[in-house]
Chain A
């Protein structure tokens, strides 16, 4: 079904497109991220300077001399230091008492400012990311919902609800949960890694080389393990799926298991599956648990390397202790972003897969546009003609070849045929859920394709077996077809539909909320509500699907009575499963294998002795 448009951008590119409307904010958050990281990375370096200051101070205590590198960029900004230090960096201020450390104080104050700013910008970045990501997801969801309304019905008839639902809910959720994480973590992680490498090289290139060995090694180890564990996780997922469906099936059929003495066998089978799952899950969990220690190992080896090399260099006088300390802190800050990056790369794969499925949904062809000069019918006589109607769900399989029929105002039309004969097809055509392949259906002489679909549908009322109600109060459900209906009109409709009585027995009457799948109502009650809904909409033409299965005899009586009232004086189509409901129809349309094969009154059709007569005889002999 899904035709790929010739020029389709990659899912990643399209996903990024959702951030375009927030371009300014995105730029701002990028700046914040960079600034935040720059401050964060400057921290250890300045801290190193502080350590150096302390070491020198310790020397001063011994020798009475204190020399500072005024060209050190971390100190450059502090004017007070310059006042007390000469061009060679020797301390020239008043002699210091023990415990008095003006330089350290200044450096540390600088540090507090750096850390404060870093925290502030990181917070800003994360906050803006949250806002932007949520907004982008809002837009994506809106697009998806709008798409739901614009897809032709054919799409829903050829795709399972499960498939559509997983694209519109699960996949979107996957995207939205991971997107924000990707945005916040990936940016900072990458910036941090780059920043740390730069910092290290400016401090000391030999030691930075250690880091450069460690970095790719850690990345490599991480991604290898991640890949491996992902494979095991798939195994766990499969094992889970197997156990899940086994459990579901066997709980649903638990009585059969007992009645046929198959419990022991089932337990045995379950144990086997459970053991397989155990094996897979254990492997998956173990593989993923190695990730941290393995990365840590690489990181720690780097740490040790720095301690040793740093020790030599410092002892040789080409490095300060503060620099070692800064290096050590950088090494510690390294592992976190590396693990994050490799996690995110994994996450991105599943996110992009989900995004692809969502975009595929958004790319489905939509309903053809309405005619611009559409005719509008406000009131109709209910005079409907089928003229040489030709139709098939796909062009190469025409079902209805040449259907002609005329239905006059107020007539009752019965539609019957064996299961799968295509009774709902006729409804699809009448309501313009599908467009014809040829011929025309006219209402009061106007071709329905010359009207807007909404106009056509507003003329019809529908009571189907599938009693769809939505999560709102009973009152709102009843006025679904006519939102402006007053409370009295709603109640009148319910009285006509014989639903008023049971609604009033509910604890909250008309304000009772309908649960998901309306579990608080019986199926008979739901059907009464759909009849009331049709009453309230007050349509001029009716389509009724006889819905009597799983309804007790009393409710059935109420329903037939209500249906009778509803159809009085209105042109109506009735789909019949039991022929007794349409004996008295003015016209009976008999369908078989998708096509109209016979039409006429009960008497005429019996005389004909064809499909209808055979159907009749099978039910009543």
Chain B
């Protein structure tokens, strides 16, 4: 938490101002009772009407000053806390922007999203409370006690005794309630889980006629949660009445001792009345401060989660003296490459060596998990090999300027992510100023112009977040068009034809070949039909290349390839 708060440095001056205002606020709150006591003792008891008026005017001024400074505190608190969190969010987004697959694997995409949004919001809300309320409490306590001592030390002792009693009591109740709150939260999660399961699995539940059983399962979870929740609420409901009781008994004590002091002529009635009110003010401040117990644990967990991300250094960064080689032929070469994920002992792929030549199509085929995607993701440095080298145009990819390297490659990932915007903005993703002609050409190659022209606004038709308003096949074609709209001369397709039907698949591939005469094309696929015409096919199994050649060659030489081909291309009468 503290580490994260280092980001508050640029707000130093505003914070200082805010603390000053807090002092003014506390001072004015404490001054009111003092002034009141003067009105009683000097004005009322001595019958000095003028004094009452003068003191009244001063009190109004104090009130106004206090309120103004409280509003000022609110202003700076919101400005600093929100601004600080905006900075953090920006820093985080920028930092995560440098992450590649390795880091995303480590933390998880959805977790990174939560940390960039909700976690920061939690920190923001806590920080505002901290500034506005929590810091005020100690100032009020110290100020109140100081003023009390100034009036009368015997009575001030009552306040001094009351305070720790309140604190101890607050801590005790909250401590015993917190575990209950936590367990209630997990039980609530369980209740919601059962509901979610009942909704998502409604077909299965009914197919197995398990409705009654599900109702019972829910009732058990519901009962469990209700009981814990009731218990924790009952515990909390002791809090306010008992706190009030302590304060009120404190007041009684002040009056008892005060009465004696007054009767002995040590203090005056007004002093005693002021002390009663200090006690009240201190109590409210302490209760507000108890918010820290309620908010802090959650906020500090969030802060830690944010820090954790900020402290991750991305593995893949630009080389120190990054190069932009002039030669641009499109050759991609793997030299004995091994890739290991995270801290895994066994490599995902190993001993990978091959060369993909310009003007040719190189294909990778194999079962899921055989390592096809792992191989090609090293070309644009989405991951770096543990051993061996990947060369593009004869230069180790690690020596490249990252952006320059990636400009040479048009890569279509397995998941065709689109972005909110229009069809145009998605195709012209790498170059906002892409000409209409080039954009349409790219769409034609991807066999996408047909469905695009059927859209109401054509190329300007909106694409929803994540592309949820276009079908899987259309999404994939747009992703291909996005790649075809670049100036790359290396094209990599990671299983990018899977959602297309056989006819479109063939048409897209043919158009790609026709339009990328001198380019290097690398295709990863699961369907033999997609790649059987490739110039070179690499067959992968368990992270190794176990066969290399053309379709015909492999049918003869590679058992696994032959087996895959047999099941997938089975003619009439064949089974499975």
Contacts and interface: CB of A to CB of B under 8 A. Distances in A.
Interface of A: 36, 40, 43, 47, 50-51, 53-55, 57-58, 61, 98-99, 101, 104-105, 108, 111-112, 115-116, 118-120, 122-123, 126-127, 129-131, 133-135, 137-138, 141-142, 144-146, 148-149, 153, 156, 161, 164-165, 168-169, 173, 180, 184, 240, 243-263, 265-267, 270-271, 274-275, 277-278, 281-282, 285-286, 289-290, 292-294, 296-297, 300-301, 303-304, 307-308, 310-312, 314-315, 321, 324-325, 328-329, 332, 431, 433, 453-454, 457-458, 460-462, 464, 466, 468, 470-471, 480-481, 483, 516, 537, 550-554, 560, 580-581, 583-584, 606, 616, 618-620
B205 to A, nearest CB: 7
Given A149-B214, A258-B100, A304-B59, A552 B368 contact: yes
B310 interface: no
A142 B269 contact: no
B574 A583 contact: yes
A278 B86 CA distance: 6
A267 B117 CA distance: 15
Given A149-B198, A304-B63, A516-B193, A134 B245 contact: no
Chain A CB within 10 Å, residue with most, of B219, B273, B486: B273
A286 B75 contact: yes
B182 interface: no
Contacts of B292: none
B269 A289 contact: no
B5 to A, nearest CB: 18
Interface string B413-443: 1010111100000000110100000000000
25 contacts: A99-B263, A101-B260, A144-B195, A148-B199, A169-B192, A253-B417, A256-B419, A260-B430, A261-B403, A265-B432, A266-B97, A285-B77, A286-B75, A289-B77, A297-B63, A300-B66, A301-B60, A307-B59, A308-B53, A310-B44, A315-B52, A457-B207, A553-B367, A553-B564, A580-B575
Interface in B169-216: 188, 191-211, 213-215
A47 B192 CA distance: 51
A265 B197 CA distance: 40
B102 to A, nearest CB: 12
A285 B77 CA distance: 9
Nearest to A297: B67
9 smallest beta-carbon distances between A and B, as pairs: A289-B74, A253-B417, A126-B237, A293-B70, A130-B233, A285-B78, A468-B201, A308-B56, A311-B52
Given A131-B230, A134-B230, A55 B198 contact: no
Contacts of B354: none
A453 to B, nearest CB: 8
A312 B193 contact: no
Interface string B377-411: 00010100000000000000000001100110111
A431 B242 CA distance: 60
A516 B486 CA distance: 41
Interface string B245-273: 10011011001101110111100010011
Nearest to A253: B417
B210 to A, nearest CB: 6
B206 A457 contact: yes
B43 A57 contact: no
Contact of B501 (A47, A98, A618): A618
Nearest to B190: A471
Contacts of A285: 74, 77-78, 81-82, 128
Contacts of A261: 403, 406-407, 430
Contacts of A258: 100, 380, 382, 402, 406
A516 B193 CA distance: 8
Nearest to A103: B259
A285 B409 CA distance: 47
Nearest to B268: A58
Contacts of B368: 550-552
Given A119-B241, A255-B413, A282-B78, A458 B209 contact: yes
B221 to A, nearest CB: 9
Given A253-B418, A281-B124, 14 more contacts: A47-B276, A108-B252, A108-B256, A122-B244, A127-B237, A141-B218, A249-B466, A252-B109, A261-B430, A281-B82, A307-B36, A457-B206, A464-B203, A480-B208
A240 B63 contact: no
Contacts of B264: 98-99
Given A119-B241, A134-B230, A300-B67, A249 B79 contact: no
A50 B63 contact: no
Interface string B39-82: 11001110101001101100110011011001101110111011
A471 B413 contact: no
A114 to B, nearest CB: 9
Given A240-B121, A537-B208, A580-B576, A260 B429 contact: yes
Contacts of B470: none
Interface in B26-48: 32, 35-36, 39-40, 43-45, 47
Contact of A116 (B67, B245, B482): B245
Given A260-B482, A278-B82, A464-B203, A123 B260 contact: no
Nearest to B233: A130
A145 B198 contact: yes
A120 B93 contact: no
Interface stretch (B323-331, B510-518, B565-573): B565-573
Contacts of B229: 134
A249 B465 contact: yes
A431 B52 contact: no
B22 to A, nearest CB: 12
Contacts of A257: 97
A620 to B, nearest CB: 6
Q: Is the interface of B mostly helix, strand, loop or mixed?
A: helix
B298 interface: no
Listed residue (B35, B116, B574) with the most chain A CB atoms within 10 angstroms of its CB:
B116
B43 A315 contact: yes
A368 B119 CA distance: 46
A275 B104 CA distance: 26
A123 B238 contact: yes
Given A47-B255, A266-B97, A293-B74, A580 B249 contact: no
B245 A119 contact: yes
B501 A54 contact: no
Given A247-B117, A431-B207, A618-B503, A104 B74 contact: no
Contacts of B7: none
Contact of B575 (A43, A137, A584): A584
B57 to A, nearest CB: 9
Which of A260, A267, A466 has most chain B Cβ within 10 Å? A260
Contacts of B411: 255, 259
Contacts of A141: 191, 218, 222
Given A61-B263, A119-B244, A127 B117 contact: no
B252 A251 contact: no
Contact of A433 (B83, B206, B223, B234): B206
A146 B212 CA distance: 9
A161 B249 CA distance: 55
A580 B570 contact: yes
A116 B121 CA distance: 41
Contacts of B90: 270-271, 274
Contacts of B276: 47, 325, 329
Contacts of A119: 241-242, 244-245, 248
Contacts of A161: 199-200
Nearest to A319: B44
B132 interface: yes
A148 B240 contact: no
A111 B410 CA distance: 83
A4 B466 CA distance: 35
Contact of A118 (B59, B244, B262, B466): B244
Given A274-B89, A324-B40, A294 B204 contact: no
B360 interface: no
B317 interface: no
